[in-house]
Amino acid sequence: MSAIRRPSPVLTFGKYAALAFYLIFALFPLYWLVKISITPDQLVFTEGTALWPSETTLGNFRTVIFHTDFLAYFGNSLIVSLGTAAATTLIAAGAGYAFSRFNFGGKRVIIALMLVTQMFPLLMIIAPIYKIVAAMGLLNSLTSLIVVYTAFNVPFATFLMQSFFDGIPKDLEEAAMMDGCTRFQALRKVIFPLTLPGLGATLGFVFTAAWSELLFALMLISRNEAMTFPVGLLTFVSKFSVDWGQMMAAGVLALIPSCLFFIFIQRYLVQGLTSGAVKG
């Protein structure tokens, strides 16, 4: 009788096949995006189904960068997304910490209300939001987008942060307080460093959500100078034609910030920072 059963080769093969299938499924659209962005205009339709075009070009990128307003859209998106990510994470971290560590009157009601906000389809509240933003005189401003996106992302981000704080043993703060910290010092010197993965994940999540948001950006922004990149993309669609190559090139460029962001934070995401804190 052998002590350790080796997994059967069929099972191993099956697992890898399933993973490979999933990867192709997830990555193929990205590949197609890149392919079309480097295909010369005249070949987009004639070689539409080929896996690789017979000729490649960086012309679409050149056009998008130097001859359209893309860079302005890109900049607007960066401002809105970074602003939203920062504001949301700041609020969510504070609220998440309070939910995780303190008991206070109305806590359950607040949590329930936050859940309720997540239940409505956006389309239902878009008109009231428009009226509110208009009344505040914020139409066509990046500020309006930051405020609206923050409002919509805070509930989920708060739950996310709360679960990260819940994962940090309360003993650590108490030990820090016994060691001479005020609650705020304990937070800054002990809890904050351990929450970095959580902050990174929340920042990344909110940034991506804001970066690709279209509906509100479309409704609240009509001035070209204030357009974010998803709205700007639509300018590549004219009444009679779609400039596929340029649109895809813009899409590829738009992927860069998210990719950089996740490369930057992924080491925090995989690391279990609290390991070793308690017994184990």
Query: What is the phi/psi pair of residue 13, to 5°?
Result: -60, -45
Under rule CB under 8 A, residue 146 binds another protein: no
Rounded to a whole number of angstroms, the minimum distance from the CB of residue 193 to another protein is 5
Quick check: 180 binds another protein (CB under 8 A)?
yes
The span from the CA of 1 to the CA of 107, in Å, is: 58
Query: Toward another protein, which CB reaches closer, 15 or 188?
Result: 188
**DSSP secondary structure string, 159-182?**
HHHHHHHHTS-HHHHHHHHHTT--
For residues 64 and 50, what is the distance between their CA atoms, to the nearest angstrom?
Answer: 24
Contact call for residue 105 and another protein (CB under 8 A):
no
- Tell me the three state secondary structure of residue 140: coil
Segment 258-277, which members bind another protein (CB under 8 A)?
273-277
Write 212-218 long-range contacts (CB < 8 A, 24+): 213/145, 213/149, 215/122, 215/123, 215/126, 216/122, 216/126, 216/129, 216/145, 216/148, 216/149, 217/145
Region near another protein per CB under 8 A, out of 69-77, 111-119, 170-178, 259-267 = 170-178
Least distance to another protein, CB of residue 198, Å: 14
Give the separation between CA 148 and CA 133, rounded to whole angstroms.
Answer: 9
Among 14, 48, 94, 169, binds another protein (CB under 8 A): 169
Is residue 187 part of the contact set for another protein (CB under 8 A)?
no
Q: Minimal distance in Å, beta carbon 189 to another protein?
A: 8
Closest contact distance (angstroms) between CB of 178 and another protein is 5
Q: Name which of 200 and 230 has its Cβ closer to another protein.
A: 200
Closest CB to another protein among 90 and 177? 177
Task: State the nearest-atom distance from the C-beta of 175 to another protein, in Å.
Answer: 4
d(CA 135, CA 152): 19
DSSP per-residue codes, 184-195: HHHIIIIIHHHH
Smallest gap from residue 201 Cβ to another protein (A) = 17
- Report the interface residues with another protein, using CB under 8 A: 169, 171-172, 174-182, 185, 189-190, 193-194, 273-280
